[in-house]
Homo-oligomer: A and B are copies of this chain.
Amino acid sequence: MLEKIFRATIEEYNLVKKKDRIILGVSGGPDSVCMLYQFQAIAKDYKLHLVCVHLNHGLRPEADEEERYIHSLCRKLTIPCVSEKRKVKTLYAGDSLEQTARKVRFDFFLACARRYKSKTLALAHHKDDLAETVLMRLIRGSGLRGLRGFLPRSRYKSLTVIRPMINVTKNDILAWLKDHGVSYCTDASNTDDVFLRNRIRMQVLPLLRELNPNIVDTLYNASQAIAADYEFISLVAREAFLGLRKREAGQRLYLDLEGVKKLSQPLFNNVIRTAIEELQGHTRRLEVRHLKEVYDLVHARRQTSIVDLPDLLVKKDEKTLIIQSLLL
């Protein structure tokens, strides 16, 4: 059953092509160990070049043992395995520990991808993870973009990130491992938000399950519907943005002011969001109230006004709306 869902997901979203070189992010926990076996099972059919990669954050005492377990497992499965030790705490600088750990891990994945000439990273996120992620984003505050949860296929810099376990539940995984007598590390976790995620897993989801026994599927369906709507908005906004962009020079992006003025507020918001994403690569700290301020600048304020946003300035001259990044 799990094997079927795994293959069907790969086909549905075109996650894998013949002869792909794929690096597999493996923590040693049940999800990624199961994924490792699933990839090994399809490797011949697809003629895949697999590399198992493992980052030892050195945060827990069992970490070294887990690293050894993964190496022994890969020898058994004849899959090449690379691991590395990188302490997260020493790199901590301004960002939350969580963001830092994520960045360190993805930098490691990028380095592995370069070394093994791979463009694809497979992660073992499953359906329960998705439900937890949607709830976590909702609790912390998030717009449409965050409420999509994660996607079967996404990008991180030059990497295509695939999640072929997205349609599999945690129970499916544990049952499969038990049926096949496969062992795994019980404490291994690559999630960087352990505290909040555990509370959601142990307290919030069980409570919601009492109100809706299918809550995981319900959240999964909501995130899929939201992902589709988000994609739609992005496409339309991107098109409008490209029509309004006059030029981009270094830290500045110039938009046609008259055209921007004509946008309806929802389209305006999404065009400005797209512009900021284009300029700084993300819109993590951008909030709805910031967009209201820019709208106000365009429609009501004096020409010399300046709007301060996180790491950004927005101003206007007679014919142009100027968005300027303050980061070097």
Chain A residues in contact with chain B, CB under 8 A? 138-144, 147, 196, 199-200, 203-204, 207-208, 210-212, 215, 218-219, 221-222, 224-226, 228-233, 235-236, 264-267, 269-270, 287-288
* Contact indicator B208/A204 (Cβ below 8 Å): yes
* Contact indicator A143/B222 (Cβ below 8 Å): yes
A294 shortest CB reach to chain B, Å: 14
* Contact indicator A232/B235 (Cβ below 8 Å): no
* Contact indicator B229/A142 (Cβ below 8 Å): no
Q: What's the dominant secondary structure at chain A's contact region?
A: helix
Given A203-B207, A207-B207; A232-B141 close (CB under 8 Å): no
* Contact indicator B138/A222 (Cβ below 8 Å): yes
Which residues from B are CB-within-8-Å of A232? 233, 236, 264, 266-267, 269-270
Complex Cα gap A288–B225 (Å)? 7
Which residues from B are CB-within-8-Å of A215? 139
* Contact indicator A228/B288 (Cβ below 8 Å): yes
Given A208-B204, A236-B236; A218-B141 close (CB under 8 Å): yes
- 6 A-B contacts, Cβ less than 8 Å apart? A143-B222, A204-B211, A229-B229, A232-B266, A232-B270, A235-B266
Residue A211 contacts which of B142, B199, B233 (CB distance < 8 angstroms)?
B199
Complex Cα gap A141–B224 (Å)? 12
Given A208-B204, A266-B235; A229-B139 close (CB under 8 Å): no
* Contact indicator B266/A222 (Cβ below 8 Å): no
* Contact indicator B233/A233 (Cβ below 8 Å): yes
Complex Cα gap A200–B210 (Å)? 11
Residue A233 contacts which of B219, B229, B287 (CB distance < 8 angstroms)?
B229
* Contact indicator B288/A143 (Cβ below 8 Å): no
Most B-side CB within 10 Å, residue of A196, A199, A236, A269: A236
